A and B are shown apart, each in its own frame.
Chain A
C-alpha cells in the first residue's frame, strides 16, 4: 500500500428532503459544487469522479452530474453497493490516490428515495407463489427487527431500549439544519407510533429521502501544495468487507460479522482503538441495528449495549456520541448518498464546524455503513493537525 496519506479537503451535503421537481443529476451536482467550493478547487482540477447511486445504477449518474458541472473528459466510475454505495465510491477514490494514480478526485453520492415504500426487499414473486408473509417476511423492517430480537434473546435487550435509540437520534437532528426532520420524539411517542415490525415502530425506521453528499479527496502532496492543511481531514482507515459464511445467514442477513471484521481491520489500519474515538456515525437504518453496532464496533463490550443506552453514553455530551447528525432515522437515508453524508458529518465535527451538535474537541471519528446483501464500509478520520 502506498505510504502517502489521503485527505478530505472539501466536503458537503445538501439538506436532505423531498425534491420531486429536481433531477437526480442536479442534486448530485449541487453537492459536488459545494464540496469543490469547500476545497477551493474547480471541476477542472479533478482527475477522476466516483459516483455512488443505487436505484439508477444503469443510468450513468456520474456522467449526468458531469453534464451539470463540467464535462472535462475525466474517468468516471459509477458505483452501486446497496446501502454502502456512497462509502464504496469514496473508497474507490481513496484507493486510486493511495495507488498513486491521481492526486485529486471527487466522490459524489446521490439518491432520490422520497416517497419510496417503507418495506424494501421482500415481496418479490418468483415462480409459483410469493413466499412473503408465508415463509416469514423479507421486508427490511422485519430483517432488522429479527436481528435486534436475536440480541434480545442473548442479552435481554428491551423494546424500550431499542426505542431510546430513536429518541436520541431524533433529538440530535434538532441541532442539524441539514437533517430531513428536526423534531423531538419523546419515548412514549416513539413506542406508541405505528408498529411496523415489532420491535420497530415507524419512528424507529430510517426516513426515505432525496439527498446528495460529496467529498474532494487529495494526496498529501496536493493538499500541502494547495495549503489546505488547516481543513484537511486525514483518512486514517478505509475498509470494505463482505459477509463471510455464517450459520444463519441464508435466512438472517449477517450485518454483525462483516462489521466486526471491518472494524478490526480499520482500527489496525488507523492504529487506534474504539477508546480513541470521539464520535461515531453508524448505520441506524432501524433503531434495532444501532444497538448491534455498538458492540460490533467495540464501543462497549458484548452484552453491554443496553447499559450504554441506559447511561445515555451515546447522546450528545456523552462518553461516545453516536449519530449526532440525527442518523438515518431522522437526517434521512438517501441510499447512495448516505455513506458520504456520514463522512461529511464526521469531518465537520473534526473541523469544529458542527455548531450546536459539535462533539467537543473531536480528534478522531468513525463512519460506518452496511449494505444488505451484504457488505460493510468503515472510514476512520482524523482532525486537521494545524
Chain B
C-alpha cells in the first residue's frame, strides 16, 4: 500500500513539494489542448508535437447535470459539471460545496479547481487524490 495518496487519473500531478495540479498536453503545432497523451495530435495529426501543459485552477461552468439515479454504491444527488479552464482545456468532475438545485447553480459562473482525497479507497486500501470544482471563492 502506498504511503501517499495516488493520483485518481494521470491528469493529476503530485509533486514532491508544492501543490498538486492538473497536467494536460498542448500541441506546439496547432495549439490544441488535450487531457491525455496520444500517439499524435487528435486535432492536426502532428507527431511528437504534444507537450505537457499545466492546466489552470480557474474556470467557468459550461454545463452540468444533477444526478439522482446512479450506479449502486454511489451517493446521490451529486452535480456532474464541465468547466472551461482559463488558458484552455476543459475538465469534467463533481461540483461541490453547492446545493444540488438548478436555482443555486449558474451556468457560466466562475469556478475553482480544488484537490481533495477521494472518499473511496481501492481494494488494497490506497487513497486517491481527486480534483473537484467549486464555486469561485
Contact = CB atoms under 8 A, between A and B. Distances in A.
B67 interface: yes
5 contacts: A133-B70, A134-B94, A245-B32, A251-B90, A252-B92
Given A146-B82, A195-B68, A248-B62, 14 more contacts: A134-B8, A135-B8, A135-B9, A135-B131, A136-B92, A139-B67, A142-B80, A149-B64, A153-B63, A197-B68, A198-B65, A248-B90, A250-B90, A251-B91
Contact of B93 (A130, A134, A159): A134
B118 A134 contact: yes
Interface of A: 118-119, 122-123, 128-137, 139, 141-142, 145-147, 149-150, 152-153, 159, 194-200, 245, 247-248, 250-252
A200 B66 CA distance: 9
B107 A153 contact: yes
Nearest to B44: A245
**Contact size class for B?**
35 or more
Given A129-B120, A197-B66, A252-B63, A152 B71 contact: no
B94 A128 contact: no
Contact of A136 (B6, B80, B128): B80
Nearest to A128: B122
Contact of B66 (A123, A194, A198): A198
Contacts of A247: 32-33, 88, 90
What 10 pairs between A and B have smallest CB-CB spacing?
A: A136-B80, A145-B65, A133-B74, A251-B92, A153-B107, A198-B66, A149-B63, A245-B43, A150-B63, A146-B63
- Chain A interface secondary structure, helix, strand, loop or mixed? loop
Interface in B15-46: 32-36, 42-43
Contact of B69 (A119, A129, A132, A153): A119
B65 A153 contact: no
B133 to A, nearest CB: 9
B121 interface: yes
Nearest to B121: A129
Interface in B42-97: 42-43, 62-71, 74-75, 78, 80-82, 84, 88, 90-94
A250 B70 contact: no
Nearest to A147: B63
Given A135-B8, A150-B63, A129 B118 contact: yes
Contacts of A150: 62-63, 82
A131 B9 contact: yes
B3 to A, nearest CB: 16
Contacts of B120: 129-130, 134
Contact of B65 (A135, A137, A194, A250): A137
Most chain B CB within 10 A, of A118, A135, A142, A245, is at: A135
Contacts of B93: 134-136
Contacts of A252: 62-63, 82, 90, 92
Contact of A119 (B34, B70, B75, B119): B70
A245 B82 CA distance: 17
B52 to A, nearest CB: 16
A197 B84 CA distance: 21
Contacts of A149: 63-65, 107
